[in-house]
């Protein structure tokens, strides 16, 4: 019985380590891979370096990003440098000229 008790603590430690560190990392990696696979031309994105732009062309390993409104500046990045895809309508954003939820003006 003592032998089993001596093994219980290391096994419990490994289980906690897996649940707190390894599993969340695997989940984030799968989400990143899915985001890179589902990337489409026209998506507004942010790179891991903080660059905001719109995808104008895609290849297997890279993406071309327009970084200004006129799409004059095109930069090529690796697909793996994608940090997130920006949603078209961000919750909490109020278009200019519209009142906030409290009915007041935006001053």
Predicted TM-score (pTM) of the model is 0.62
pLDDT for the residue 84: 93
H helix or E strand, kind and range, residue 30: helix 23-37
Residue 56: predicted pLDDT: 93
Residues of the chain with pLDDT under 50: 92-98
CA distances from 35 to 14, 42, 43, 45, 85 (A): 30, 14, 11, 11, 8
């Amino acid at each position: 019985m003592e032998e089993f008790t001596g093994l219980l603590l290391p096994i419990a430690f490994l289980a906690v380590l897996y649940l707190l560190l390894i599993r969340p990392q695997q989940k984030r990696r799968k989400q990143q891979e899915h985001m890179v696979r589902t990337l489409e031309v026209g998506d507004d994105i942010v790179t891991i370096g903080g660059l905001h732009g719109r995808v104008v062309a895609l290849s297997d390993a890279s993406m071309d990003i327009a970084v200004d409104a006129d799409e004059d500046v095109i930069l090529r990045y690796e697909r793996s440098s994608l940090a997130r895809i920006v949603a078209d309508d961000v919750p909490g954003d109020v278009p200019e000229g519209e009142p906030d939820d409290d009915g007041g003006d935006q001053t």
